[in-house]
Amino acid sequence: MTRVLERPRTGPAAHALVIGAGDYPHLNGGVGPLTPDHEGMGQLGSPPVSARAICDWLGSEFHHSDKPLASVRLLLSDPTDQRYTAPGTATTHTVDRAEIGPVTTAVGEWFADGDTDEENLLLFYFCGHGIAQGTEYALLLSDFGRDPGNSLDGAVDFHKLHLGMGACKAARQCYFVDACRSSSDQLIATEGYAGRVLRQPRPRPRSLALLEAPIYYATLGGHEAYARTGQVSVFTDALLRGLCGLGADDAEGDWRVDTTTLQKALGFCMGLAFDAGGRRVQVPQSGSQSTFFLNYLDHDPQAPVLVGCDPDDAIAEADLSCTDRNGAVISQRPPSGLPEPAYWRVDLPAGRYEFEASFPGGGRRSRQKSATVRPVYRRITLEVSS
Amino acid sequence: MSKLEIALDTWLAAGEVAQGVVARVRRLAAPDGSRVRGERPHTLVLPAGAGGARSLDVEGPGRYLVEATLPSGHVLSEEVDLTPDTPDARVELASAPVVGHSPHEWLSWQHLTGKIRPASAPRPAPPRSPEPMEDAGRTVIAGAGASGRPEPEESTTAVSAFRTRALTEPVLALRGGLPHGAEAWPILAEAMAPERDLASVLSASETLPELGAATGSVASDEDVALYRVDSGPGRRSYAVVETPDGAELATLPLPWQQIHTGQHCPLELLVRKHSLDAGFRTSVSVLDPDVGTALAYMENGDFHDARDIFEIAREMLYYKITNPLAAAAGGYMLLATAGREAKTDWHDWIHNLLDWFEPIPDGAVLYGTLLLRRGGDDEALVTAREAFVTAFERGLPYYSLGVTWLLEGLSIFGADDDNIAAKARAVRRVALAVNMDEAFTVVRFPARTLGAAA
């Protein structure tokens, strides 16, 4: 079973394929024989959690006025639990493992669903190991290394999948790949064989609308993606924040997340996550970047505000506060005594606020500033004088 | 009608860049304070580097938000209230509080474009067990700031880790003959083969000029070395950068002319001394006041802002094609961001790029991709197939995106054509060694015996 959510629709709809591969029997720490192609890779705790979180969001918060959600397929490799219950449903599904066989079948079904209408929206999400070299990118499924003579038989050639999906009628497709893009000599040795080709690349049929299929990678090529064990990964967390509102704009009157503003939201979240103590900044990168709507919000989005002082070091002594238009204190931060971080972060619903730095210890004059908060984020600098 | 004058407080050693940073201005509230919704923001491009400003007519009194996104991805923002009594205002966006200061004057362009971190940011850890670096005995020419004075702290530091030189034609160096175009593919692939002795390849470049001494200033610190290339020989040029990891072949987009004046723009070649994960060290930038930052936006994955800058020079860039390399970059951005509602008036000049500029493979890549994406009849697909074959025969694309799209096109048509499938395999072998995070094509050759090349 891979279809964990099904809402029959007539007309254009959204169809999602979600894959979370965390259990790798043939990598370090796995229960099976270690493949000679392990390259130091091991078990991952985050992908099943991240994939479930994406499915939860799809089932409960995804809203598209023209393309309502019609189906979600989920494949998981979780060493302890293959079950999933979609939000708002009472049915618990035991989902298929994220192995090449079930994934091949799921991709075929997902293609077929997308192929029913040119206005369909297809969403693809993968979280797990990935290896890359130049243009080639292999997404490693749980049975990577099962055949020690052909480890990549348990992998998907992502580049060719993306190309092959160009033959699908669905003209708008969006790909989210939360995996390392670490350089691998395997892909040099195999001369570009980067796993199974699940859809043969072919020219897009002439009768179909222009294909728009941006890709969002968790990292630049050659770099590793990072996750917190057993928690939603850094990229998926950023993605969910972006889809929930950080990537929203109201240029159409209501708040909508589109593919371009989502990218800016991802960039902000990832940068902030790593400034806050991560090991290295990951920079999300899209390939093609046409703009189309991904999610419609039914509420004002929240947006982060980074409040700092000029000079920077004044933030250590500053009593920082945020009040709404009625003068009610929304949030407050007492003096920290520390110069780092150089900003106070507060997440607020979009709107107009007053920010103030006061100095209980004296020595500096208080400073207030009004600012409108909206996605992606605002940075407020309070110029305080001695 | 009200007017906003918007200035960006950044500093560049090279002086002002006329089209520097993309900004958006949106009206947040009407004069009575009521929220404004459903208005598209104004987009404008601010000059960068010398405090210059640009004016914008806006709807009238109200509250406005001005946001500028630097090529590095950092966002600068300010709000301003316009009233009937003060209908005009000046807004200054300061970059230093957000992105810090450039570590050196000579790195100011690299800092603005996000290729290096600010002075206060932590540096990446040096590589584990670094290989001993050979001293090639180069004396560095001092970098000069805006005042023209050299910077004393680095000016006498020798660039000890790199041997960097210009090659007029990599295939010449590889074979000693004059193969070009399609012959580049097997030769580049051969140079990557484990048994190939790269020393013999590089020794062919002995008589060619060193970039630093021959073509411009060079500066260096403990993290990076910067080479300036003022001009090329007028045909395809590359730089070979040797490092302890191997060697990198960097495409030099020369000649690069300003689209309005025809003046040659210098290039900056940044070489990192500490390898990051991917091991690539070389990066090429163009100090072009019209489209230089557009290339940086492109490199950082912000194709929409890149396109907005290219679009300012639409007439000169696309129809007169005063700089075909810049036009190709603009073409990549137009194609990458094209939606179904996009204008199509630029489709014809993509074909001109293919027809008029044979030495540039990217024109054929763009035309083939355009035909593939927009669809058409069987004849269009035949033409697309021919365009990709033409691109292959013209050799290594100037842009890494061109390598990707060439491989895509050949892969699609290779499904039922063995001849094209063989071409796809040849491109794939090279593409495996291309740094896809750079705008211009950089190919890496693994470390082998390099000693004989000095």
Q: What pLDDT, in 10s, does the model give residues B99-112?
A: 778 888 889 999 88
Structural domain boundaries, residue B14: 2-99
| Token digits of residue A371 | 């600012």
CATH (domain of B9): 2.60.40.10
CA distances (Å), origin A378, targets A274, A345, A352, B113: 18, 10, 12, 21
Measured between CB atoms, which of A136, A251, A264 is closest to B38?
A251
pLDDT at B132 over 60: no
Distance (Å) from the C-alpha of residue A273 to the closest C-alpha of chain B? 15
Q: Is residue B50 situated within a structural domain?
A: yes
End-to-end CA separation in angstroms for chain A: 67
pLDDT at A74 over 90: yes
Contact between A98 and A142 under an 8 Å Cβ cutoff? The reply is yes
B chain contacts of residue A183, beta-carbon cutoff 8 Å: 277-279
Q: Does an H or E element contain A24, and which?
A: none
Interface contact flag, B37 A160, Cβ < 8 Å = no
Please tell me the predicted confidence (pLDDT) of residue B396: 92
Q: What pLDDT, in 10s, does the model give residues B370-428?
A: 998 877 678 889 999 999 999 999 999 999 999 999 999 999 999 889 999 999 999 99
Interface contact flag, A135 B98, Cβ < 8 Å = no
A371 interface with B at CB cutoff 8 Å: yes
Interface contact flag, B412 A377, Cβ < 8 Å = no
Please tell me the predicted confidence (pLDDT) of residue B322: 86
| Token digits of residue A131 | 């290896």
Please tell me the predicted confidence (pLDDT) of residue B451: 37
pLDDT at A300 over 70: yes
Q: Is residue B38 situated within a structural domain?
A: yes
Examine the fold and report which residue of B64, B82, B99 is the final residue of a domain before the chain moves on: B99
Exposure string of B56-82, with b = 16+ CB inside 10 Å and e = fewer, is bebeebbbbbbbbbbbbbbbbbbbbeb
Average pLDDT over residues B286-307: 92
Report long-range pairs for B374-377 (Cβ below 8 Å, ≥24 apart).
B374/A210, B374/B344, B374/B347, B375/A204, B375/A205, B375/A206, B375/A207, B375/A208, B375/A210, B376/A206, B377/A206
Q: Is residue B202 situated within a structural domain?
A: no
Q: Is residue B312 situated within a structural domain?
A: yes
| Token digits of residue B44 | 């404008």
Q: Is A308 helix (H, G, I), strand (E, B) or coil?
A: strand
pLDDT band, residue A224 (cuts 50/70/90): low
Q: Is residue B187 situated within a structural domain?
A: no
| Token digits of residue B307 | 């396109």
Our count of domains for chain B comes to 2
**Strands A172-179 and A121-133, sheet pairing:** parallel
Interface contact flag, A191 B428, Cβ < 8 Å = yes
Q: What pLDDT, in 10s, does the model give residues B165-220?
A: 554 433 323 232 334 688 788 877 777 766 555 545 544 444 344 444 445 557 88
Contact between B6 and B23 under an 8 Å Cβ cutoff? The reply is yes
CA distances (Å), origin A265, targets A377, B154, B411: 8, 38, 33
A chain contacts of residue B77, beta-carbon cutoff 8 Å: 378-379
Query: Among A335, A331, A340, A328, which Cα is nearest to A359's?
Result: A335
User: How far, in Å, CA of B233 to CA of A269, rounded?
Assistant: 45
| Token digits of residue A307 | 């409040």
Task: Let me know if B205 is exposed, middle or buried by CB neighbors in 10 A (0-12, 13-18, 19+).
Answer: buried
For chain A, where are the alpha helices, taking DSSP H only? 46-60, 100-114, 158-164, 185-189, 234-241, 259-275
Q: Is residue B400 situated within a structural domain?
A: yes
Residue B450's CB: how many other CB atoms inside 10 A?
Answer: 20
CA distances (Å), origin A243, targets A58, A175, A176, A267, B174: 10, 13, 12, 13, 50
Please tell me the predicted confidence (pLDDT) of residue B234: 52
Residue-averaged pLDDT of chain A: 89
One-letter amino acid for residue B137 of the chain: G
Please tell me the predicted confidence (pLDDT) of residue B213: 42
**Strands B246-252 and B237-243, sheet pairing:** antiparallel
Examine the fold and report which residue of B99, B130, B161 is the final residue of a domain before the chain moves on: B99
A211 interface with B at CB cutoff 8 Å: yes
pTM over 0.95: no
Spell out the domains of chain A, with CATH numbers in brackets: 3-296 (3.40.50.1460), 302-383 (2.60.40.1120)
Task: Classify the phi-psi angles of B108: left when phi > 0, otherwise alpha if psi is within -120 to 50, otherwise beta.
Answer: alpha
Distance (Å) from the C-alpha of residue B417 to the closest C-alpha of chain A? 12
User: How far, in Å, CA of A301 to CA of A374, rounded?
Assistant: 8
Average pLDDT over residues B357-363: 92
**Strands A285-286 and A302-310, sheet pairing:** unpaired
Measured between CB atoms, which of B39, B412, B432 is closest to A133?
B432
Please tell me the predicted confidence (pLDDT) of residue B236: 73
Interface contact flag, A372 B300, Cβ < 8 Å = no
Please tell me the predicted confidence (pLDDT) of residue B199: 47
Please tell me the predicted confidence (pLDDT) of residue A204: 85
Measured between CB atoms, which of B79, B278, B303 is closest to A372?
B79
| Contacting residues for B381 by C-beta, under 8 A, at least 6 apart | A203, A206, B371, B372
Is the model more confident about A24 or about A278? A24
Q: Is residue B417 situated within a structural domain?
A: yes
pLDDT band, residue A149 (cuts 50/70/90): very high
Q: Is residue B128 situated within a structural domain?
A: no
Interface contact flag, B412 A378, Cβ < 8 Å = no
B63 interface with A at CB cutoff 8 Å: yes
Examine the fold and report which residue of B99, B134, B166 is the final residue of a domain before the chain moves on: B99
